[in-house]
Structure 1
Amino acid sequence: MFFYLSQFLSFLAMPLTIILILLIAGFWLRKKKYGNKLMIGGIILMLIFSNQFLANLAMQTWEPDFKAFDTLPDYEIGIVLTGVTNLNKTALDRTFFNKGADRATHTVQLYKLGKIKKILITGGQGLNPTNSNTEAEMLRDFMVMTGVPNEDILVENKAKNTRENAAFSKDVLSKSGFNLDQRFLLITSAFHMPRSKGCFEKVGLQTDSFPVDYYSEDIRFSIPQLLQPDPYSIFMWHKLFKEWIGITVYWAVGYI
């Protein structure tokens, strides 16, 4: 129930949802004096949320800085969160990636550089997938294909949200006999790192962060960036709003 509720709240807070509500309400009430104000408000918000420079600046401000590989100590285990594969495209001989493949590719790079000795992949199926495979299993198959030995990969394939990623990962590590007092390297998207790290530390796992999958770019002062509306900018604001709501809800219920 919590999973579905958080998804519904995120939908209500999407910038595009807010804009559509204002435009529809303004049109419906256009004969009243505040109807035009609602429509103008929707148009102004559309221009703000579709501005590439503002969206990039907001995302860059939120995302933590990346870490150079050669600055990292060695870890026994790197924990990587899923949420990067297309579970609505079914194939048994490959993994279809969405945005966020860095979570998998950078984890493999960390392993091959010797920065992590083993990999724990955590993540189930999410919301109503058509693919019967779990994300953790799909990422494992990809990593094995790249040369990571199967025996060096642990799989947690039940979690449906970040809190369960943390709790179920702790269970897997405990049952596998690992020392829970050590520090683990946590690998997930930069925008999602604050909530993820909070959840893992709440369940008693001490982590160092390795943010990947950046949505922001270096700041550029170009005409397209400053003036040209872009639908992807609305998507970036959607990611931010969803994450801010997630952190607020998680804090309210004691998950972080």
Structure 2
Amino acid sequence: MSEMTPYIHDLAVKLWNYHHTNHPLTKADAILVLCSHDLRVAERGAELFLEGWAPLLIFSGGLGVITRFMWTEPEADMFARIAQDMGVPAEHILIENRSSNTGENVQFTRQLLAERKLEIDKFIVVQKPYMERRSFATFRKVWPEKQVIVTSPQDSFDDYLSTYSNPELTPDDVISIMVGDLQRIKIYPEKGFQIPQEIPDDVWQAYEALVEAGYGRHLASV
């Protein structure tokens, strides 16, 4: 695809802003990092632990739709190693490395905590910036009795693209993934995967324009 035009950039920023929940941070019982192709999310989770926001750091992720074509090691194992290299003690880390999507992240983490007889009431969920809202909607559907706030690496859209930690994905790839996540926010509630989220008209119009412009490579089949 050709170089990003100002028009495409502005449409993408509209989706980027919508995907953020803008939850203020408060102390929690555990930090749950939803792993992916974005290693910066591991760093954000480790930073929050080291700043004292929660006493337990959980990494959840096996190999997903994107990473199964990039890596052979489970996402959670890679993320946990990054956290330990940053100074997080291994005894404060739990690893769930079987899940392949966001719903499984929550389900399998719930099972892991039950097996360990750990009662966690409040989570800080850490995710990619453009998956905050979908992660919130999924968590609230799968585990509604728990408190959850969602955060991500604290970057602007432009900074995120310029410092992006995985060179195998281009800015066009990131925009296409954002488009696919917005479509899932729209269609997944009726499939039982998420709670509904309001999508403003201007955000949906930006989505449709990006699909029309060729950024629909990560759309789910309907």
**Structure 1 length-normalised TM:** 0.61
**1:60 aligns to what?**
17
Query: Once the 2 structures are TM-superposed, how far is the Cα of residue 80 of structure 1 from its aligned partner?
Result: 0.4
Structure 1 pair 66/200, CA: closer, same or farther in 2 (3 Å)?
Answer: closer
Equivalent positions of 1:137-156 (< 5 A) are 137-156=77-96
Deviations 1:42-74 (A, max 9, x none): xxxx9878632333244224433374xxxx332
Distance in 1 separating the partners of 2:91 and 2:23: 29
User: For residues 79 and 244 of structure 1, what CA distance do their matches in structure 2 show?
Assistant: 22
Structure 2, unpaired ranges of 5+: 160-169, 195-222
Write the mapping of 1:45-56 to structure 2, written as runs, cut at 5 A: 51-56=8-13
Identify if the C-alpha distance between structure 1 residues 47 and 124 changes in structure 2 by more than 3 Å, giving closer, same or farther.
Answer: closer
Cα distance in 2 between the residues matched to 1:151 and 1:47? 45
Per-residue displacement from partner, 1:182-230 (whole Å, max 9, x unpaired)?
A: 1111111222111111221222233112233645259xxxxxxxxxxxx
Q: Does the residue aligned with 1:148 lie in a helix, a strand or coil?
A: coil
> Structure 2-normalised TM-score?
0.70
CA RMSD of aligned residues (A): 2.8
1:192 aligns with 2:134: no
Q: Deviations over 1:160-203 (max 9, x none)?
A: 011111111111111111214x1111111222111111221222
1:75 to 1, 15, 28: 28
Counting only pairs closer than 5 Å after superposition, residues 1-256 of structure 1 correspond to structure 2 as: 51-65=8-22, 67=24, 72-84=25-37, 100-127=38-65, 128-129=68-69, 131-180=71-120, 182-204=121-143, 205-212=146-153, 214=155, 216-217=157-158, 232=171, 234-256=172-194
**How many aligned positions are there?**
180
Unaligned runs of 5+ in 1: 1-15, 17-45, 85-99, 219-230
Task: Read off the aligned partner of 2:179 and give its amino acid letter.
Answer: F
Partners of 2:4 and 2:75 in 1: CA distance: 36
